[in-house]
Amino acid sequence: MNKRIARNIVLLGLLVAIFAMAGCSCKEYEEQIMQLDAQIAEMQKDLADKDAAIKERESVAQDLRNNLKDCQGENAVLIEESEEVVMITIQDDLGFNAGQAMVLDTMVPTLEGIASTIRDYPDWEIFVEGFTDNKKILEEYQEKYPSNWELGAFRASAVVRYMTNNLGLDPARFAAVSYGPFRPLADNDTPEGRAQNRRVRFTLHRTGQ
């Protein structure tokens, strides 16, 4: 995006220079130059806004890394950046017992670290997304979780409740989402793959982006 905007600014600048060197006083050309100047100014603003958004994203991600530096052992917590979005993935074994949706004490330090960053960026919204493997819910839990959709939704909601009820964050900033087993990271045919697919992910983005 930045390279495309910069290239267009250069091209428009060249056109302005060509019109200027032509020494044409024609009103039509003068109007075209004014239009080109306006387009260049708009592109420059877009470029500045894009750069500011990227810098803020990098600041959020670095703040998260600082706050979670003691919670990332063995890839239990993964922080990623994409465009204006920051994502934090928490593996299932850090946060929940099998077939359950109660936040475990082992996840609490991670949630506290994430909350610390969220408080410092009040203009950012948070999606909490639940993912599962594709194994059928055990019969003893099926009344509460008829499918993995519900299990993923309950886990995402449990995390949102903890962030808002226990850590005092504004509920209006949060959404709970379930993808169930339908966005796997790895092959569900192996225990290792299924373990990677069971996760909760925070997706942070600035309001309106």
pTM recorded for the entire structure: 0.78
More confident residue, 30 or 123: 123
Please tell me what DSSP assigns to residue 123: T
> Using an 8 Å Cβ cutoff, are 189 and 133 in contact?
no
Contacts of 143 (CB under 8 A, 6+ apart): none
Q: For residue 91, give the H/E element and its range.
A: strand 85-91
The strand pairing partners of 32, in sequence order, are none
Q: Give tens-digit pLDDT for 120-167.
A: 999 999 999 999 999 999 899 999 999 999 999 999 999 999 999 999
What are the CA-CA distances from residue 175 to residues 30, 52, 112, 126, 130 (Å)? Answer: 51, 25, 18, 6, 11
More confident residue, 190 or 95: 190
| Amino acid making up residue 113 | G
In angstroms, the CA 201 to CA 13 distance is 44
More confident residue, 29 or 154: 154
Contacts of 15 (CB under 8 A, 6+ apart): 36
For 153, half-sphere exposure in the C-beta direction (CA atoms, 13 angstrom radius) is 7
Which ranges of 22-82 does DSSP label H, i.e. alpha helix?
Answer: 27-67
**CATH 3.30.1330.60 for the 68-206 domain, yes or no:** yes
